[in-house]
Amino acid sequence: MEYKILAKDGRAKRAEMKTVHGTIQTPVFMNVGTVAAIKGAVSTDDLKTIGTQVELSNTYHLHVRTGDKLIKQFGGLHKFMHWDRPILTDSGGFQVFSLSGLRKIKEEGVYFNSHIDGRKIFMGPEESMQIQSNLGSTIAMAFDECPPSKASREYVQNSVERTTRWLKRCKAEMERLNSLPDTVNKEQLLFGINQGAVYEDIRIAHAEEISKLDLDGYAVGGLAVGESHEEMYRILDEVVPHLPEEKPTYLMGVGTPANILEAVDRGVDFFDCVYPSRNGRHGHVYTNHGKLNMFNAKYELDPRPIEEGCQCPACRSYSRAYIRHLMKAKEMLGMRLCVLHNLYFYNKMMEEIRDAIEHHRYAEYKAEKLARMAEGEKN
Ligand SMILES: [Zn+2]
């Protein structure tokens, strides 16, 4: 792995990360394919058309169905989903803590019930690394606990200390797995995750602690889980300077276009979020003039594309009137076109961000983009 900063503008960084599955240009938005598919009938061929650099799959979901061992037997996730570019897998921790009702957290890991069939499962740092190794993703995430944003200081302190112990176990396990002869991707990378809820001092101490482990990248987790946007920006202001700048900086699960623009300004260069695909499935589409609701009656005879000038597969060929009709008729094509447009919009925005940083005009770009999106469509 080679990570090189190509340009800086204030704290915003524009970098290039070479991996065994190709080079990632950052800042980058990773497109979320929970169960190895982007919801909304979007294929990996589509992802190439809309400029996706990194696909993100969920460890927990693939572990409970269809099973990482089967995927390994098939030759790994890349072969399974016909995708030759980078894949990031999450650790499964977030889903274990948010999806499963019954769970018990112990030093060794977490005992919980599958949300599919209720069967008992155990997942700890070693199990999470083994599952991600079976999947053969490019980047694996460390197994951590994401404490609730309203958790007490004492709870968060104890949780973060355990997360650090788990991280060390993740690192040791990944080194072991990467050295085995039948490992799918022997060059799998590991990102650590900073936690600490809204307590800056705990987060800063944790960031400094995990930075010593010389991991391939560092994520800020446990944000966008109920705190305000201002609180999130304040935490990024405090924490990011304590993570190594010469490594990728990933803000997990964030967010709106405005959140991304603000976080880039605070030194973050990896993002992922379900918003563009989830909103697209509900007919909510992003444009440079704010979000549109494709169910709106005013689009009934509107011959324009979702956004004039957009080069996505939806806008190149179809009118708002037709897409509105498809959404109303609950045709899968309507959903698919809206999701394709939204992911293209996010990927394109990242390209604009990279260009703005390279030309040292990030502040102007951000201000102009935010103002245009807030203004809304004039007619
Ligand atoms: Zn479009």
pLDDT tens-digit readout, 21-55 = 999 999 999 998 877 788 888 999 999 999 999 99
The whole-number pLDDT of residue 34 equals 75
Measure 355 CA to ligand 1 centroid, in angstroms: 20
Encode burial over 17-45: b for 16+ CB neighbours within 10 A, e otherwise.
bebebeebebbbbbbbbbebebbbebebe
Measure 292 CA to ligand 1 centroid, in angstroms: 12
Measure 51 CA to ligand 1 centroid, in angstroms: 12
Measure 204 CA to ligand 1 centroid, in angstroms: 40
Catalytic option among 46, 144, 216, 272: 272
The whole-number pLDDT of residue 100 equals 57
Q: Which two structure tokens, joined as six digits, stand for 185?
A: 């991707």
Measure 322 CA to ligand 1 centroid, in angstroms: 14
**How many other C-beta atoms can be found within 10 angstroms of the C-beta atom of residue 7?**
15
**How many other C-beta atoms can be found within 10 angstroms of the C-beta atom of residue 378?**
5
Sign of CA dihedral 69, 184, 343, 313: negative
**Residue 45 among the catalytic residues:** no
**How many other C-beta atoms can be found within 10 angstroms of the C-beta atom of residue 211?**
16
**Residue 90 among the catalytic residues:** yes
Catalytic option among 90, 144, 216, 269: 90
> Tens of pLDDT along 104-133?
899 999 998 888 888 888 999 999 999 999
Measure 305 CA to ligand 1 centroid, in angstroms: 7
Measure 249 CA to ligand 1 centroid, in angstroms: 29
The whole-number pLDDT of residue 264 equals 98
> Tens of pLDDT along 225-259?
888 999 999 999 999 999 999 999 999 999 999 99
Selected residue with higher pLDDT from 151 and 352:
352
Measure 341 CA to ligand 1 centroid, in angstroms: 4
Mean pLDDT of the chain: 95
